[in-house]
A and B are shown apart, each in its own frame.
Chain A
């Protein structure tokens, strides 16, 4: 086994196990804490893909900010009754069929994915030479200018949405 296989194998296996722990915990706060571990492992996988900045953002935004949001929502809902109820929802047969179909798709494409020999200009060596942040900055603020500006509108929608929804509940 190569080092790459060990690295990927560890993260893939752990992420599967942790994901199962997240959905199977009785206490929703425990689920959230396992999700925190999951996010840290996702950052490890981003590092493996040579995406250092994405790994850092994963920790800062997901493990930091979004996790707090999740915890506040759980505290807000004040789950007590739901914890003791039957775990499977009404729609579980539909979910099961979808999951099995998706598994069939995944298994059928297994081993058929080939990486193209030519990989474009952003190779690992090029990114390492220039720096991950520098490369992202150069591309994001020139070539992908419009998506970047649209992101600000999306964030504006999130601000307005949160205030409109929550203000109604306070009054």
Chain B
């Protein structure tokens, strides 16, 4: 029945998550408990290699980052589709191979388009 399954195989993952969070939070809490608190103006200014800070810390990012992130998402999803294909490859045989080649060919068109448009160029 759906909803009656407990993923017991993933118990080690839960343990790792708990240990990792404990180390992260523990370091912060230990820091609060141990360190002396004597703040003054110079200590509280953001560190910019010894220079006085100029302007806002958050500035507008270039749209180029967005293209890179978007392309990363697309090719990430392409890679995700390959996992079950690779595992079930023996059963699918040549038919599965042709199928995946078609899938990759369609995305290759997109890749060539991006390349020719010069979206990979940073300048």
Which residues of A are in contact with B by a Cβ distance under 8 Å? 3-4, 7-8, 47-50, 52-53, 57, 60-61, 64-66, 68-69, 72-73, 75-76, 78, 80, 115, 119, 124, 131, 133-134, 136-138, 140-142, 145, 148-149, 151-153, 155-156, 158-160, 162-163, 166-167, 169-170
Query: Which of chain B's residues has its CB closest to A77's CB?
Result: B60
Query: In the complex, what residues of A have CB within 8 A of residue B60's CB?
Result: 75-76, 78
* Interchain pairs with CB closer than 8 A, number: 166
A48 contacts B7, C-beta separation under 8 Å = yes
Task: List the B side residues contacting A52 at CB < 8 Å.
Answer: 7, 10
Cβ–Cβ < 8 Å partners of B86 in chain A: 137
- Main SS of the interface on chain B? helix
Contact across chains for B99 and A162 when beta carbons are under 8 A apart = no
Q: Which residues of A contact B32 (CB under 8 A)?
A: none
The answer to whether A61 touches B61, judged by C-beta atoms less than 8 angstroms apart, is no
Partner of B72, one of A3, A65, A167: A65
Interface string of B103-123 (1 = CB under 8 A from A): 110110111011001010000
Report yes or no: A166 in contact with B67, Cβ–Cβ below 8 A: yes
Asked if B76 and A61 make an inter-chain contact with CB atoms under 8 angstroms apart, the answer reads: yes
A5 to chain B, nearest CB (A): 10
CB pair A64–B76 under 8 Å, yes or no, is yes
Task: Please give, as numbers and ranges, the residues of chain A lying within 8 Å of B92 by CB-CB distance.
Answer: 137-138, 141-142
**14 pairs across A/B with beta carbons < 8 Å?**
A50-B2, A50-B7, A57-B80, A69-B66, A76-B63, A76-B66, A134-B88, A137-B88, A137-B91, A151-B77, A152-B78, A152-B104, A156-B109, A166-B63
Number of interface residues of B (CB under 8 A): 53
**Do A49 and B107 touch (CB < 8 A)?**
no
**Chain A nearest CB: distance from B31 CB in Å?**
20
Does A167 contact B117, Cβ atoms closer than 8 Å?
A: yes
Task: Report the separation of the CA atoms of residues A70 and B85 in the bound assembly, to the nearest whole angstrom.
Answer: 29
Indicate if the CB atoms of A49 and B5 lie closer than 8 Å. Answer: yes
A163 in contact with B119 given A3-B6, A155-B107 (CB within 8 Å): yes
- A166-B119 contact in complex given A50-B5, A152-B107, C-beta closer than 8 Å: yes
Identify A49's interface contact among B3, B81, B113, CB under 8 A: B3
